[in-house]
Amino acid sequence: MKYYAEKGLNSMDARILRELIREQKADFESPGPVRLVEREVLERVSELLRLPHALVISGMRRSGKSTLLKEIRKGFFGDEPVYYLNFEDERLIGFEAGDFNLLYEAFIELLGESRVFFFDEIQNVEGWERFVRRMYDRGFKFVLTGSNSSLLSRELGTKLTGRYVGLELYPFSFREFLKFRQIPVPKEPLTEERGLIKGAFNEYLEKGGIPEYLLFENAQLLKTLYENILYRDILVRYGLGEEKALRELALYLFSNYTSEINYSKLQKPLGLGSANTVKSYIGYLENSYMVFTIPKYAYSLKKQIYSPKKVYVIDSAFINLISFKFSRDRGKLLENLVFLELKRKNLEVYYHKGKQECDFIVTDNMRPIEAIQVTSSLKSTREREVGGLLEALEAYDLDSGLILTEAEEFEETVQGKKILVRPIWKWLLE
């Protein structure tokens, strides 16, 4: 279904467009209320902007995409004029692909000529890719953001194949969190400095990395964000009638993060028609960057597809606010944190399960290159964690593996395999 109404802009609405352009330009060029933290993806942005391709930045709502656009504007385009518009503004309801020419005329009228477009939340306009393709072929540059990975992929794939490069943005990493808290990280931190960093790590584990929430620390902001994603990005966009089922599914996933999920077993308690419907609903949550699923590693692609998936959540603040748990499992929070860091590094991630389990198998072109276990401490779980890691190392012919804990740090050789044990906070700062 269309996200916006069928009716396009009329002549009266052209005035609204000019008003929007003026307002949003002022906002876009202002520093804003959030303390600016230089995002680590800017190094990657620098490489991608050298290409003529459209740059498409995707990620969850409020993960910092709009602020990143400001950084890109300031860092890479200097005084060059750019055309900016955020399609989240409710006054753009009714904007259609055919209205882009009117928008372009308004840009020229108000700002003069430019060859650069910055469009925020572009997926809100059905058919946007046709305008981008036409102007791209005329030599215009586009920097676009969106908060739905599936819609962006589908639309980019139909009209812009080979003409765009993509980048995903997540909430703050631990390194960015430390910058936000203005905590320096020396190469060789002293006792006091290590204490500050470890204290910040505990805070990061609880509060996560959503910039706006860290700035104001108001739980209502998170609840509103959660509701907006469920309602606007999923229920409305996909035309779903089972609101209760979606909410119960989201709550279940948030409460069972790092665990295996079974579509068939969820079908009946959720009251959904089939396991495929459950799978689709989880896919909608994934498209909106709320959750992620990873398969069990297998050399057979078919076995990977049909294996149970493990689920992870976009940010620990959501887990602590939304999940139905009377007490927090610190080990699971740490595992979720490690998974998100692997995602930020754009790595291919699976889990291992044989007679024993290993949390993460990192691959390169489907070939296992690293095995990682995560635990709060090895004091009571050493046999299980080392055993699962050794089984994975043997299964994939790896010489060494990594165990991440809160505090332990040592190396040892077990059954001819090298095992490196490191504190998670140190690993996150590498």
Domain borders along the chain are 11-169, 203-428
Phi/psi for 408 (5° steps) reads -70, 145
pLDDT number for residue 34: 53
Q: Which amino acid, residue 332?
A: K
Identify each DSSP E strand in 301-395 by its residue range: 309-313, 348-353, 357-364, 367-374
pLDDT for 327 equals 54
Distances (CA, A) of 403 to 207, 358, 360: 24, 10, 10
**pLDDT tens sequence for the chain (430 residues):** 344 333 445 543 888 999 999 999 999 988 765 567 899 999 999 999 999 999 999 999 999 999 999 999 999 998 899 999 999 998 998 899 999 999 999 999 999 999 999 999 999 998 999 999 999 999 999 999 999 887 677 677 777 888 999 999 999 999 999 999 999 999 888 899 999 999 999 999 999 999 999 999 999 999 999 999 999 999 998 999 889 999 999 999 999 999 999 999 999 999 898 999 999 999 999 999 999 999 999 988 888 888 999 999 999 999 998 876 655 689 999 999 999 999 999 999 999 999 999 999 999 999 999 999 999 999 999 999 999 999 999 999 999 999 999 999 999 999 999 999 999 999 999 9
DSSP states of 292-323 as a string?
Answer: EEEPBP-SSHHHHHHSPEEEEES-HHHHHHHS
pTM, two decimals, is: 0.92
Question: Which pLDDT score, from 0 to 100, does residue 322 have?
Answer: 85
CATH topology of domain 11-169: Rossmann fold (3.40.50)
